Structure 1
Amino acid sequence: MKTILRNLFYTLKRFQTASVLNLMGLSAAFAAFVLLMMKVSYERDFDTCYPHTDRLVMLNLAQPQEENYVSTLPRGPIDYLIQQVPGIEYGTIYSPAWQKQAFYTDPKNPQYFYEEPWAVYPDFGKIIGLKFVEGSDQEMNRPESVIVSESYARKLFPNGDALGSYLYTDTPDWRNPEATKFRICGIFEDLPENCQFKNDLFVPMGKLQENDWGSQNFFAFFLLKPGVSVEEINQQIAATEANKRLFTGDQGTQKLYVLPIQKLYYDMHSPYYFKTGSCSTMTLLVSIGFLIILIACINLINFSTALAPVRMRSINTQKVLGSTNGELRRALVAESVSIVLIGWLLSLGIIAALIRLNVLSFMGFTPSLLVYWKYVLYTGVIALLTGIVAGLYPSWYMTSFPPAIVLKGNYALSGKGKRLRTVLIGFQYIVSFALIVTAAFIFLQNRFMRNHELGIDKD
């Protein structure tokens, strides 16, 4: 171990330029890779946080040729299906406010803040598995009730007296016009960022548009009974003949059906309110991440091979003094692993700085070394393997010649050695140029969408 550390410090000190370039490349590559893997984790685990994810479904209404589009629903069929379909354990309306509403906490000194509360049924908490840290949702059958997230409660009431306090409004909610103030009856544990219900305020749904089978203003979610499949529920919905009672769109062609909650994110198109993603995008991100690591690995091999001529004398001297090829190769691989792990540690510092500077908002989620700690550790394992792979060829190459090679020139300047380096560098350039061109096209497309004339005054 002492010999490995001595060789490592000697290499870092003796070949400062190469070492700095190596560490810069490795740290940048691992920083990009860790961030990409965080994004992949965000995408892959979307809507998996619920206790009964496999039983949570969304109700949708669409034409046969538009089943991949999320549509708003009338309230009538939502209530009807909750009552009539035997496979539904709990059901809830999920009603957007459509615009921000003004609230305040002190009626004597109103300090307004603006939010978009969602109106739901009392069973909403049971359906998505809300965990209450204070209070409960037992009073959500009363019009003047509200449940709030834990972080939002701390924000509104820093002294910790949120439970039982009131939120006041001067403009009654159109979905619950009889309520002009809302008492906080429950504070629930914050939901993760990668879920559809990442909201702070939920209020009870009033009697608006009850038995209305035509006005489309709502969404709905059901929790199925254990053992009941999506196919069975859709058959039960069809058996109720609710489709025939609809007064929406082209009657006779639209149909009500449910879809698994995870299908909403990956397979549906939603113009508003719901988040959507793509499995192909996730696959692309993983591919780009590993290409970046591969480039860094090749870069390390090239640097190590390029240093071979000037390190050959030291290696052959150690041979003369009795070191075996196996010992020297293990030391050189350990040296490569150490450099890669240092680069990995530096990458974590880079990520922490970027998070602190709040410059990663363009990624569409909130990166965190703590939240995504598993992927940080996985990347550390990948860094270890990268160091081993990147160190195998240089260590074999630099120890494969007899000591007399010092007097006869070196392989690095031979035709075969040049061809190997040309192939590795050529691969680096091809992948790098492909990524740069792709990034340039994404930038141009984004700029086009932001600056294109829409025919209206955007201000």
Structure 2
Amino acid sequence: MIKNYLKIAWRNLIKNKVHSFINIAGLSVGMAVVMLISLWIWDELSYNKYFTNYDRLVQVWQHQTFNGNVGSQTAMPIPLGLKLRESYKSDFKYVTLSTWTMEHIITYGDKKITRLGNYVQAELPGMLTLKMVKGTRDGLKDPSSIMINASLAKTLFGAADPIDKTLKIDNQWVVKVTGVYEDMPNNTQFKDVTFFAPWDLYMASMPWLKNAATRWGSNSWQIFAQLAPNADWQKVSAKIKDIKLINIAAQGDKLGADFKPVVFLHPMYKWHLYSEFKNGINTGGSIQFVWMFGIIGVFVLLLACINFMNLSTARSEKRAKEVGIRKAIGSQRVQLIWQFFMESMLIVAFAFILSIVLVMLALPWFNSVADKKMGILWSNPWFWLLGLLFSLVSGIIAGSYPALYLSSFKPIKVLKGTFKVGRLAAIPRKVLVVLQFTVSVTLIIGTIIVFRQIQFAKNRPIGYNRDGLIYVFEKTTDIHNHYAAFRDEIIKSGAALQTSESDSPVTGVWNNTSGFDWRGKPPGMLDDFAVVGITDDFGKTVGWQFKEGRDFSKALLTDSSGIIINEAAAKFMNFKSPIGEIITSNGRQYRVIGIIKDMLMSSPYEPVKQTFFYLDKNPVGVISIKMGPKSSPHESLEKIAAIYQKYAPAVPFDYKFADEEYSKKFDEETRIGKLSSFFAFLAIFISCLGLFGMATFMAEQRVKEIGVRKVLGASVFNLWRLLSTDFVILVIISFVIASPVAYYFMNGWLQGYTYRSEISWWIFGVSAAGAIVITLATVSFQAIKAALANPVKSLRSE
């Protein structure tokens, strides 16, 4: 019986090639989209599951209250980590301190490379259950050791055994390789970490850290922990919530206590998808994109299934006699239902095979856009099980309406020739077409709004000039110790117009400080300023713009106590005439000598923070260089590199373009926009396939009507309008439904940005016009072809 079903299904497939192609193409694209999205969701939901202790690992966070607003952060003080280790042993198996993941110079013989790494306490590799290639996870117990990943080991040593080889970190600290661990996957929090170095080495090598080790108000490090076997993270959070407040108050830090710090634990399974906090409440995070793309995938597949149902029911009259004859000779309705489901399953089987091919072709591009390293899970039994289940469900959904509808035809009416589908039979098809284009138009509107928000933020004034501006992170003091000579030489070479040093790059602020006082400051007001230490040529290098006052001058010794503020700072301090005002910090007075326009150094979607710029004799951190216009960037960089290597021969010349680093701030939104546009295009493609098939069927169904109209004098334009009007009306109805839906969801998405664009009326107008143009372009081929046909041929049988 099944063999017979398959044989008939195959014959119907071959007989109706266009119909079959549209169904298979639409379903395969829909299934490919769902497969890509499923791989992406799998990757997101399995984030950090590489670590065996995934469900027991936590990171220590804190809430701080600033003038009524609660902020949440991961930057923590050193003594908090030490206190948790000593006093809460029953709650934690391990507690480890860590620096942030930063670039460091790794030297082996003549090889000098820059890699990302952390200084951590010795237990972290064991907590993370690193998969060791060589050595053990206990390698960091030696304060002169280092653990490196397999890629770094191969780069430095090739095929040689790395264990006990000697390296140098930042040209200062000699360490011995005690372990090589497997590269961590791309979907882990530590994917970029190529080495771990001992925390004790970090503490011993920097004298100022001894003071920080006792200061509860110095928030500059990370704390990770592994819970004890029977500990619950929520109960432990409640137990330790006041630990910082108590100790910071005991230390006499009134300002720190005024921020009302609340310590809490954030479990690893929430790090990636649930790390967004607003006013002290966890509001989610990247999980919203998992839901969004999951819903898009379901709807795109639904569009493909709608095509199948529409085309199958539209061709019902052609299958009516077949159904009538089958019933007349004894076929039961259940047998006909099985026949139509078998046809559906055969189409789905071909579509599934084609969808895998499409996924293989699209995956490299999809990975680059989504910033992933995903692959098809060939060896995972769940992939095949879910793939088969997914195909089965798709086949049932796609074939259910045709099977139940076509099998219900009455054989007497069909064989007498009195059976007609009628007007009401077309209503379900029209409803499904409206649903298709509602989804498509919603995606189009959403995509336009996403890209408009990105462009809106990109067009925001940044307050400085990025053209030809590069910066280099100072990983050693080599350049700083010869800064004057280095500066003079690169300017004389013509490679640079200006250069300066600062303790933060122009595309970020690394230091925030509180405790300032000024005339008119309200009693009890908490302050928090971004603070940037610079040399006197910083403004000329980055091209900041003055609103009032002047720049720093080498000729004025009094500028050592001068300060330049931005517009946001003047507004925050409520200064009407800031020039000459005195600002006090830790007993030292600073005089405001200039006000600059707000420089957009942090997030382009948030307000510019109040910022102070002051002269610092030792702002080791960043060298900013404004390249000269007389040479090409390539030539200028070659000259700068040669001079740089002259003064820092052991340091790689690793530079960053300010405009490229600024563009990275839009990466997440750009990825969302590109993926949304990709899915919107495929949704439109699938919908248009359905329209094309429907237009083909309607042209065939009305061929005699068209012939009569032509004989009576109807023009090609009139006939084209006749066949196209119904589809345009359906698309307009879709637009009317899609507009409020898109507005509701996209307006909610925009509310997540402080600096955001408005949803303009023209977005909906463009979307409607685009949908109508696409519809007309799709159906016009068949409409015009039918209008141009010779009426003699269509009417000859009459």
**TM-score strictly above 0.5:** yes
Residues 1:442 and 2:450 aligned together: yes
Please identify, of 228-237 and 84-93, the stretch whose mean Cα deviation from structure 2 is larger.
228-237
Please identify, of 136-145 and 67-76, the stretch whose mean Cα deviation from structure 2 is larger.
67-76
Which residue is equivalent to 1:185? 178
Looking at structure 2, the residues matched to 66 and 129 of structure 1 have their Cα atoms a distance apart, in angstroms, of 38
1:382-432 CA-to-partner distances (Å, cap 9, x unmatched) read 2211212321221232232206515526544x1221112112212222122
Looking at structure 2, the residues matched to 372 and 33 of structure 1 have their Cα atoms a distance apart, in angstroms, of 19
Looking at structure 1, the residues matched to 186 and 398 of structure 2 have their Cα atoms a distance apart, in angstroms, of 37
Post-superposition shift, 1:101?
A: 2.3
Looking at structure 2, the residues matched to 138 and 71 of structure 1 have their Cα atoms a distance apart, in angstroms, of 26
Closer, same or farther: CA 68–30 of 1 in aligned 2, 3 Å: farther
Instruction: Kindly indicate whether the alpha-carbon contact (under 8 Å) linking 1:43 and 1:277 is maintained by their aligned counterparts in 2.
Output: no
Please identify, of 445-454 and 283-292, the stretch whose mean Cα deviation from structure 2 is larger.
445-454
Post-superposition shift, 1:31?
A: 1.4
Residues 1:204 and 2:213 aligned together: no
Residue of structure 2 aligned with 1:250, choices 231, 250, 256: 256
**Aligned partner of 2:414: which letter?**
I
Q: How does 1:390-429 map to 2 (within 5 A)?
A: 390-401=398-409, 402=411, 404-408=413-417, 410-412=419-421, 414-429=422-437
Looking at structure 1, the residues matched to 378 and 255 of structure 2 have their Cα atoms a distance apart, in angstroms, of 45
Which residue is equivalent to 2:94? 90
**Aligned partner of 1:194: which letter?**
N
Residues 1:115 and 2:115 aligned together: yes
Closer, same or farther: CA 93–43 of 1 in aligned 2, 3 Å: same
Greater Cα radius of gyration, structure 1 or 2: 2
Looking at structure 1, the residues matched to 227 and 157 of structure 2 have their Cα atoms a distance apart, in angstroms, of 37
Q: How does 1:192-231 map to 2 (within 5 A)?
A: 192-198=185-191, 199-205=193-199, 206-207=202-203, 208=206, 209-210=209-210, 211-213=213-215, 214-231=217-234
Q: How does 1:301-316 map to 2 (within 5 A)?
A: 301-316=309-324
Closer, same or farther: CA 371–136 of 1 in aligned 2, 3 Å: farther
Residues 1:71 and 2:74 aligned together: yes
1:224-282 CA-to-partner distances (Å, cap 9, x unmatched) read 21212234434553368334356596334224333322333344349xxxxx9433332
Post-superposition shift, 1:136?
A: 0.7
Instruction: Kindly indicate whether the alpha-carbon contact (under 8 Å) linking 1:68 and 1:268 is maintained by their aligned counterparts in 2.
Output: no
Instruction: Kindly indicate whether the alpha-carbon contact (under 8 Å) linking 1:61 and 1:257 is maintained by their aligned counterparts in 2.
Output: yes
Q: How does 1:320-331 map to 2 (within 5 A)?
A: 322-331=330-339
Post-superposition shift, 1:308?
A: 2.3
Post-superposition shift, 1:339?
A: 0.9
Looking at structure 2, the residues matched to 226 and 387 of structure 1 have their Cα atoms a distance apart, in angstroms, of 47
**Aligned partner of 1:202: which letter?**
F
Post-superposition shift, 1:380?
A: 3.3
- Unmatched tracts of structure 2, length 5 or more: 278-283, 467-657, 660-798
Post-superposition shift, 1:300?
A: 1.0
State the 4+ residue runs in structure 1 displaced beyond 6 angstroms.
none
- Unmatched tracts of structure 1, length 5 or more: 173-178, 271-275
Instruction: Kindly indicate whether the alpha-carbon contact (under 8 Å) linking 1:59 and 1:219 is maintained by their aligned counterparts in 2.
Output: yes
Post-superposition shift, 1:433?
A: 1.5
Which residue is equivalent to 1:35? 36
Structure 1 vs Structure 2 CA RMSD: 2.9
Aligned residues: 441
Looking at structure 2, the residues matched to 42 and 441 of structure 1 have their Cα atoms a distance apart, in angstroms, of 27
Closer, same or farther: CA 80–35 of 1 in aligned 2, 3 Å: same
Looking at structure 2, the residues matched to 48 and 67 of structure 1 have their Cα atoms a distance apart, in angstroms, of 31
Q: How does 1:293-308 map to 2 (within 5 A)?
A: 293-308=301-316
Looking at structure 1, the residues matched to 319 and 463 of structure 2 have their Cα atoms a distance apart, in angstroms, of 66
1:151-182 CA-to-partner distances (Å, cap 9, x unmatched) read 5544555526344444444533xxxxxx23x4
Looking at structure 2, the residues matched to 85 and 49 of structure 1 have their Cα atoms a distance apart, in angstroms, of 27
Post-superposition shift, 1:319?
A: 4.4
1:183-226 CA-to-partner distances (Å, cap 9, x unmatched) read 33222234343332222221112214142414332101111212
Instruction: Kindly indicate whether the alpha-carbon contact (under 8 Å) linking 1:34 and 1:376 is maintained by their aligned counterparts in 2.
Output: no
1:63-95 CA-to-partner distances (Å, cap 9, x unmatched) read 146666223122232223212223222111121
Closer, same or farther: CA 390–170 of 1 in aligned 2, 3 Å: closer
Closer, same or farther: CA 34–424 of 1 in aligned 2, 3 Å: same
Instruction: Kindly indicate whether the alpha-carbon contact (under 8 Å) linking 1:103 and 1:169 is maintained by their aligned counterparts in 2.
Output: yes
**Aligned partner of 1:77: which letter?**
L
Post-superposition shift, 1:29?
A: 1.1
**Aligned partner of 1:361: which letter?**
S
Looking at structure 1, the residues matched to 160 and 197 of structure 2 have their Cα atoms a distance apart, in angstroms, of 21
Looking at structure 1, the residues matched to 132 and 180 of structure 2 have their Cα atoms a distance apart, in angstroms, of 6
Post-superposition shift, 1:146?
A: 1.9
More strand by share: 2
